A and B are shown apart, each in its own frame.
Chain A
């Protein structure tokens, strides 16, 4: 009819759409229930064990182990999960067990399933190793976007929040618990391990996987294996891996190291034999690793992530330059 009302109505329509979409997403997320069920594994200590799967729309990213320790001075949370909704449900799960406030949230490293629940907690409770904080600042956005692609509307409202408080390795006394913060690397550029000397529980983060194939998007295999050597020498009674069931011995440490050592040998050998990446992908996996969850997918991802460097090492040398 006239030119004037059209843009306004378009704008209004746009607004309504945006609101509707926003609400739909929020409501969809509100509907989502991770069914978090804390399991008591030691005095004051609970673990929430994720599924040994890939990220998916079905699991909403809950493939990770998170944990909390109820001290007299407040609750220490280890990793906040893959989404805002997870963080909020974790907080409610904690509140069902204790009325103590969460006073410290530790992110073991900068992978999305370990820090994207940070939004649910007070900013001044968040802490991580300096390189982890840096990693969340620089890669948090793209890691978060990728999680939306992989887990869909479970992610609604999730934004990356980097801890402000940098941690240093060493003892940390809190409410009667004597923690030891151990700064390692190899799974990522900084991997925080927490030993609770009061209970003997070792929270290994993603340096240790149990019956679930390790992931390697930021891995340095030699450093990772060295970190595992150190962990194996650390005395503990209970081991909480980043992924897979809680263990009572160092089995998962050895299993993770065996996979990494094999992967390193396999890729080096393949590169020195002149194999194309498609040929490396077609190589059979040893029987001993067939029982690891998602082994085919993780092998495929690891070849894609790591093989170019082995290839380059095999191809390089001054004699080949013009």
Chain B
């Protein structure tokens, strides 16, 4: 009985997968360069069926091939080789919480550095939506022994973070290439909600603007961002300002607000 049910389920699953395959546009039939068995699901979950999704080498995702510390895996996404970037969605096929971060680089370079938690070896991908509505997908495999998502944050075991929650440290550098780099670190435990007895607690919205209040980047965070997150954002020379500002909130409504002085 069980076997039959399984077979039926498998057949159904395959039928679904095949249907998706038929609906795909010719460009999409190019096989997943990361050869992930989850790609068909990702295509279905992350993008509207009608949208154009292409694999594109101009979307660079940099992460170590082997990550020993699954709680803190560095990832840099750079889509600045693409014109007209509207939004970038970063996700990991095999993470229990697939979405990691979404950002809209309205005035900043279409690039972001951050760190994430991974539960097991997985592709880490960035999907970049350009002005014409096309999603350009790039990514890389990260191998890890894992466990990063179902462990409590180190802070959750200590009362220290409560006093400093939302505290921002930051610094601005002039870049050789022109423009400026902003790096900022926010004190936040960021719990996924997958460790027993610890509810999800994460940064939901961050807005980076210049000192005149003009938007540079909107960041929407999800649970897999690493504890006490550090972000690297590059500002083109044309948008460099006398100072910057970051504001936002976590999913419990705690506000984050800080000047980023030079």
**Inter-chain contact B257/A278, CB cutoff 8 Å:** no
Known: A304-B68, A316-B169, A321-B167. A274 touches B260 (CB 8 A): no
> How large, as a class, is the contact surface on chain A?
20 to 34
Q: Which residues of A contact B68 (CB under 8 A)?
A: 300-301, 304
* Docked-complex contact B74 and A276, CB < 8 angstroms: yes
Q: Is the interface of B mostly helix, strand, loop or mixed?
A: strand
Given known A276-B76, A320-B261, A322-B258, contact A315–B171 (CB-CB < 8 A):
yes
Other-chain contact of A312, B64, B185, B260 (Cβ < 8 Å): B185
Q: Which residues of B contact A317 (CB under 8 A)?
A: 169, 171
Q: How far is the CA of A321 from the CA of B169 in the complex (A)?
A: 6
- Smallest Cβ-Cβ distance to B145: which chain A residue: A149
- Residues in B with CB closer than 8 Å to A300 are 64, 66, 68
Of the residues B66, B113, B259, B261, contact of A276 by C-beta under 8 Å? B113
Instruction: Decide: B167 and A279 in contact? CB cutoff 8 A.
Output: no
A15 within 8 A of B: no
Q: What is the predominant secondary structure among interface residues of chain A facing chain B?
A: helix
Cα distance A273–B74 in the bound complex, in angstroms:
17
Contact yes or no, A308 B76, CB < 8 A: no
A315, B169: Cβ atoms under 8 Å?
yes
Q: Which residues of A contact B183 (CB under 8 A)?
A: 274, 276, 311, 315
B121 within 8 A of A: no
- Place the interface of chain B in its size category: 20 to 34
- A278-B170 contact, Cβ under 8 Å, with A297-B66, A300-B64, A320-B261: no
Docked pose: A282 CA to B65 CA in angstroms: 12
How far apart are the CA atoms of A265 and B15 in the complex, in Å? 57
With both beta carbons as reference points, the residue of chain B lying nearest to A314 in the complex is identified as B171
Q: Evaluate contact between A311 and B74: CB separation under 8 angstroms.
A: no
Query: Is the pair B74, A281 in contact by a Cβ cutoff of 8 Å?
Result: yes
| Set of chain A residues within 8 Å of B75, measured between Cβ atoms | 278
Q: Which chain A residue shows the least CB distance to B227?
A: A308
**A278 lies within 8 A of B145 (CB):** no
Q: Which residues of A sit under 8 angstroms from B259, Cβ to Cβ?
A: 320, 322
Provide the bound-state CA to CA distance between A315 and B69, in Å: 22
Taking CB atoms, residues of chain B closer than 8 Å to A282 are 62
CB neighbours of A93 from chain B (8 A)? none
Chain A positions within 8 Å of B169 at CB level: 312, 315-317, 320-321
Contact indicator B76/A320 (Cβ below 8 Å): no
**How far apart sit A305 and B67, CA to CA, in the bound complex (Å)?**
11
Q: Nearest CB to that of B68 among chain A residues?
A: A301
The answer, yes or no, to whether A277 is at the interface (CB within 8 Å) is yes
Q: Identify which of B168, B169, B258 gathers the most chain A CB atoms within 10 Å of its CB.
A: B169
Docked-complex contact A305 and B167, CB < 8 angstroms: no
Beyond the given pairs A304-B72, A320-B258, 17 more chain A to chain B contacts, judged by CB atoms under 8 angstroms and listed by A's residue number, are A146-B145, A273-B173, A274-B181, A276-B232, A278-B64, A279-B113, A282-B62, A300-B68, A304-B69, A308-B230, A314-B171, A315-B183, A316-B169, A317-B171, A320-B261, A321-B168, A321-B169
Top 7 nearest A-B pairs (CB, nearest first) are: A276-B113, A277-B74, A274-B173, A315-B169, A278-B76, A276-B232, A322-B258
